[in-house]
Amino acid sequence: MKRLYKIFQTLLSTYYAYMLEYRAELLLWALSGCLPIILMGVWTQAAQGGAFALTSAQFARYFLAIFLCRQLTVVWVIWEFEREIVEGKLAFRLLQPLDPVWHHVWSHIGERFARLPFIAVIIGLFILLYPSAFWIPDAGTLALFILVSICAFALQFLIQYTFAMFAFWTEKASAIQELWFLFHLFLSGSIAPLEVFPPGVRQVVEFLPFPYILHFPASILTGLPVDYLRSFLIMGSWAGIFYAINRYLWRKGLKQFSGMGA
């Protein structure tokens, strides 16, 4: 246990330092996630003219929260893993007495810390421009939001890492991810809160993993009504399912892996 703790600490500080080198790139990545801000414009405008489930100010907060959640749950492990397989670099990682997934996990977490200041600046700038969107959630809400965001990141990572396993068999596993991302984009609540979906669609979507990555934490932060028990149950079940598939494919894939190109 102590050994693992030490390893993790080292990995985190290494990857954090590594990510700090790419500050300019991080800023651009943070900016490229501006879709929620654009949609905020359309929805706040629409809420002034039509009868929607949320008010204009609620839309503004919701999309600001979505912006934050998107930044916190960005995952790119499949592209890294795919490259490791294609170039045979996984072979070296396998020699280490540590599951290779931890390298990816800690590089994501390290990047998240390096990205935080940029997120804070963008949000601060935004609140200056749009003071009506500003609100201070209480400490309990904030704590719950952080907890759920960590779970959301874990689920997102687990899903993508499971798709990454297909890289053992095909050269373009990331194509699966791109298709999945579309569903994620439209069903996770990043184009509109689930509250404005047609009721039938919403009921189906709530059983899928998508809304728990963005809509669930964003709703907590903005104070929209949330069914905690059900949400955690569904989120946990999906995590369990993907974990099982992931470990199964990992064992199968390793037998298949030939370390080509290394």
Partner 1 sequence: MKLASNPFSKYFQLIRLFWSTAISAELEYRMNFIFSALTSLGGLAGSLFGLFLFYGQGYHFQGWSWEEALIVVGIFTFLKGFSTAFLAANLNRIVKHVERGTLDFVLLKPISSQFWLSFHSMSLWGLPDILFGLFIVLYAGIKLKLSWTSYLSGLIPILFGATILYSLWFILGATSVWFTRIYNITEVLKGLMDAGRFPMVAYPVSYQVFFTFIVPVAFLTTVPAEALLGRANPSWIIGSGCLAIALLWFSNQFWRFALRFYTSASS
Site residues (vs partner 1, CB under 8 A): 22, 24-25, 28-29, 31-35, 38, 41-42, 44-46, 49-52, 129, 172, 175, 178-179, 182-183, 185-186, 191-192, 196-198
- Closest separation between CB of residue 159 and partner 1, Å? 17
Least gap, CB of 79 to partner 1 (angstroms): 12
Please identify, using beta-carbon distances, which residue of 130 and 243 lies nearer to partner 1: 130
**Of 52 and 243, which CB lies nearer to partner 1 in the complex structure?**
52
CB contact at 8 A, 111 and 22: no
Q: Report residue 174 as tokens.
A: 């990331």
Amino acid sitting at position 180? W
Smallest gap from residue 139 Cβ to partner 1 (A): 33
- Tell how far CA 97 is from the center of its chain: 28
**Shortest Å distance, C-beta 197 to partner 1:** 7
Residue 227: CA count within 13 A, CB half-sphere: 8
Residues 105 and 157 sit within 8 Å (Cβ to Cβ) = yes
Q: For the beta carbon of residue 15, count every other beta carbon within 10 angstroms.
A: 21
Residue 69 Cβ vs partner 1, minimum distance, rounded to whole Å: 16
* Nearest to partner 1 of 183, 207 (CB atom): 183
Q: Annotate 68-87 with three-state secondary structure.
A: HHHHHCCCCHHHHHHHHHHC
Cβ nearer to partner 1, comparing 44 with 149: 44
8 A C-beta contact, residue 82 and residue 173: yes
Half-sphere exposure at residue 237, Cβ-oriented, CA atoms within 13 angstroms: 10
For the chain, the residue count is 262
| Residue nearer to partner 1 on the CB measure, 28 or 121 | 28
Write down the least CB distance from residue 44 to partner 1, Å: 7
**For partner 1, the closer CB: 87 or 99:** 87
What contacts 53, CB < 8 A, 6 or more positions away? Answer: 193, 195, 196
